[in-house]
Amino acid sequence: MKAKVRLGESSFMDDIRITQKKEGVLKWELQSKKAVFVTDNEVKLTSVQLRFPEKELSLTSERGAYDIDKSNLTIEGNIRASTKDYDIIASTLFWDSSRNEILSDREVRIVGKRFFVEGGALAATADSAKLHNRVKAVFNGK
């Protein structure tokens, strides 16, 4: 995709893609229909799609904010993250790229084929995810 830069009262780009690679391997890719530069460091995003190929995880959301200096991302609005085994549904998530950690202080639901788990907060790393506050789980047998 090619970005179109338009200058006016504020600067923005249409149809953007941001990728991060490590040693030639794609770690994540972010796509957004529109990116508005609020400051030199903060970019507001609309229609966000985020993909983590190694985890086979894809995430969609209505909007987000990207911190250019820290590479942190806050996403909000009907978030759905999907893998082959489960979906994560939330209204807000914060990704701390320096710690590779996803956090939320709002309700998060994880729905699989035979289970449903929800909690009032989430802390997730590359190795684990922990739900906190009012955790409820339902498991269905075969």
Burial zone of 18 (CB within 10 Å; 0-12 exposed, 13-18 middle, 19+ buried): middle
Q: Tell me: pLDDT of 90 over 90.
A: yes
Give the H/E segment covering residue 131.
strand 129-132
**pLDDT number for residue 109:** 93
Q: Tell me: pLDDT of 82 over 50.
A: yes
Amino acid at 33: K
Q: 47, 62 in Cβ contact below 8 A?
A: yes
Those residues whose C-beta lies under 8 Å from the C-beta of residue 74, and which sit 6 or more positions away, are: 64, 65, 92, 93, 94, 95
Q: What are the pLDDT digits (tens) for 28-70?
A: 898 999 988 888 788 899 999 988 888 888 999 999 998 888 8
Q: Tell me: pLDDT of 6 over 70.
A: no
Where are the chain's structural domains?
4-139
Q: Which CATH number fits domain 4-139: 2.40.50.140, 2.60.450.10, 3.40.630.10, 2.60.120.1030?
A: 2.60.450.10
